[in-house]
Amino acid sequence: MITLFRGLGLLLQDNALHRQPFEDQVAHWRGKSDEQIDAEVKLLGVAKKQWVVSSIIGWQAISLVLLGVITHQLWQHDYHVTFSRIVIVLTSWVSILFVMWYIADLFDHSAGFERWLRAFNSRARLTPDADTVECVADALEMARRYPEVLRYKKDVTARRDLRHEDIAIMREMGRLQQYTELVRDLDRFDGAPRLVASSA
């Protein structure tokens, strides 16, 4: 169970990191080593298995307790089995499962199954399955075009292999640079026609 809590703590750290400024996220990933990331992936692998078992047992236990409370209230004074009572129990069971599924779906984005997958994917080494050709080509173009992106790539590859999150960071760094250039061009634009140099 200690591994489970450590894994959940790592997910919460990731959630907090994504709420921080982009510069802090860049610095965080720039400083990570292969050993650190591999240890985190190993921890997440064990913790996720424990989380799946614990969540199944926990949700089922809660739903059964609620169903038991409803059943106890229906048969508190007499023990006659009637059609209406059976319908009430089955309807309550379905409603409980739906409400719990809805709560679990909301929980999924912060520490649920979807969040575990994102934690694994962000730390994965580059593979054709995890990173499309378009994503890698976009990151390469950003590195060719902007020195800041190339500097990040050199700093990272000097310490470790590129990971999926590095590609996302390089693309975002380039996108922010493009945005700055476009805003600067928009501020300078006055509607006057551009002069094209005539060829001799």
- List all residues 6 or more positions away from 173 whose beta carbon is below 8 Å from its beta carbon: 26, 142, 146, 148, 149, 152
Residues 82 and 109 in one domain: yes
Residues 74 and 145 in one domain: no
Q: Give me the pLDDT at residue 58, please.
A: 83
Flag whether 73 is in a domain: yes
Last residue of a domain, one of 88, 103, 123: 123
Residues 38 and 14 in one domain: yes
Residues 105 and 147 in one domain: no
Range of the domain at 74: 1-123
Domain count, the chain: 2
The tokens for 21 are 């400024």
Measured at the CA of 116, the angle between CA 111 and CA 117, to 5 degrees, comes to 140
| Count of CB atoms situated within 10 Å of the CB of 55 | 15
Whole-model pTM above 0.85?
A: no
Q: Are 142 and 171 in contact (CB under 8 A)?
A: yes
| Count of CB atoms situated within 10 Å of the CB of 14 | 20
Flag whether 16 is in a domain: yes
The tokens for 171 are 């693309």
pLDDT (tens digit per residue) in 40-80: 999 998 988 888 888 888 878 888 888 888 887 877 777 77
Last residue of a domain, one of 100, 123, 146: 123
What is the percent of the chain with per-residue pLDDT over 70, rounded to a whole number? 90
Flag whether 194 is in a domain: no
